[in-house]
Amino acid sequence: MRFLFFFVRRLIASQRGTSGISLFSGIAISGIALGVATLIVALNILAGYRSLFSERLANLDSHIQTVGYGILRLPQMNASMAKIRNVLDSTCTDVQPFIDRLVLLSSGNRKEGITLKGVLPDYFKKKTLITCTSGSLKLNDDSSIVIGKTLAQKLFVKQGGIIIAFALKNTLSLTPENLPAVQRYRVTGIFQSGLDKYDNAYCYVSKSSADMLFDFLPDQVSGYEIKLTSIDSIPGAVAKLKDALGPSYYYSTIYQMYAPVFTWIKLQEQPIPIILGLIVLVAVFNIVSVSLMLALERAEHIGVLRTLGAKRSLITRAFILQGMYLGLAGILSGNIIAWIISYLQMEYQIVKLPATVYFTSAAPMAMPAESFVIVSVCGVLLTFIIALIPSFAASRLSPVETLKFQ
């Protein structure tokens, strides 16, 4: 066994001695390291996007939104909130009632159709990703309204400006019996979330103001926004709510509300491991070329060993170990490179992105252990399989042919 490892070191070492690796071995290790690092970093970026979107969307909206079917108004607001908290117990972090209806906003000669949302005064306290660009997000009275930055630009309105809201109270059609309600609001704050759905299509007023505008009773709401401790708790929480609240409620999860986003992430996850896996496969094939080159370069050594009685199994094991050494060195180096790149991006956000396109100002990055483990395990298996080819070829070298012209 000691001789086997000595022979492997001689295969890997440079011609000038055993202190360094040969040029061929260095190229093979570098190729595998770059392939592994590229694949891990790509998977980490996808994991970062998934985590970012899950956190951001849940913060801006909720993990679960429950509403009445159609335009059904849900009664007994306080009792329902207590029941939801009791049913979900420790998995529930917040429950926010809301009223939402479509309205027409008018400012000067400009008009925009948006969703007006009536919320409680503490609604924005846990919306940490919503930033106030002007004024305040506090809904101090029934004449206050908070709108998105994009919507404010469309309406040419600033903080302190006046907006007129037109809304239908009972039905979705305008009739002589159902004339539109009109409410005058003063813009007390302008917010920015980074998502067009909010900045362009939502505005917020106090719940009491929405009650008057849409003719709701004080204990009636359109629905509830429910936040959980983890996105993984959604399926179990929905099942509990269905059993506890009955058939009058309709449930939408973050996956359903933002299906295009999560579908896009899933589509990106499917082809990238295959495409980048080919990079690793090409890099691993370097082991074949390197091992075959080394077999030719050390042909006289193999010939001498075979002449002295070394079995083919010894030569086979030696080249398998040599291939595994190169593969493991490359995989380990690739993991280190990927960890360094991921860490630097997470800490210093080196790679910047346009926030209006990618919803974030820097490339998101996460470092889940499974990315490193899966790529490393697959790399080791590929390395072992590929290493069998040159080991088989080297063991078949004829001692007579290798020593004939030496």
CA dist 293 and 401 (Å) reads 17
Please say whether the beta carbons of 160 and 107 come within 8 A: no
Handedness of CA 87, 91, 93, 97 (dihedral sign): negative
The token duo for 3 is 């001789």
pLDDT tens for each residue of 271-290? 776 776 676 677 667 667 76
Q: Is 128 helix (H, G, I), strand (E, B) or coil?
A: coil
Q: Quick one: pLDDT band at residue 263, thresholds 50, 70, 90?
A: confident
The token duo for 153 is 């630009």
Cα–Cα distance list, 233 to 253, 258, 333, 390 (Å): 11, 17, 37, 51
Do you know the residue count of the chain?
406
pLDDT tens for each residue of 292-309? 666 666 666 666 666 656
Please say whether the beta carbons of 43 and 252 come within 8 A: no
The token duo for 142 is 């029934």
pTM above 0.85, yes or no: no
In this prediction, residue 19 carries a pLDDT of 47
How far out from the chain centre does Cα 38 lie? 17
Please, what is the average pLDDT of the chain?
A: 82
In this prediction, residue 172 carries a pLDDT of 62
> What share of residues in the chain are helix, strand, coil (percent, to 5)?
55, 20, 25
The token duo for 49 is 């996007």
- Residue 20 scores a pLDDT above 60: no
Name which of 264, 285, 294 is nearest 357 in CA terms. 264
In this prediction, residue 18 carries a pLDDT of 46
Contacting residues for 268 by C-beta, under 8 A, at least 6 apart: 46, 49
| CB-based burial label for 232 (10 Å; 0-12, 13-18, 19+) | exposed
* Least trusted range by pLDDT, from 39-43, 217-221, 238-242, 298-302: 298-302
pLDDT tens for each residue of 333-378? 999 999 999 999 999 889 988 766 676 778 889 999 998 998 888 8
In this prediction, residue 338 carries a pLDDT of 95
pLDDT tens for each residue of 378-406? 888 887 887 777 767 666 666 655 555 45
In this prediction, residue 300 carries a pLDDT of 63
Name which of 254, 346, 311, 247 is nearest 58 in CA terms. 254
> Identity (one letter) of the amino acid at 179?
L
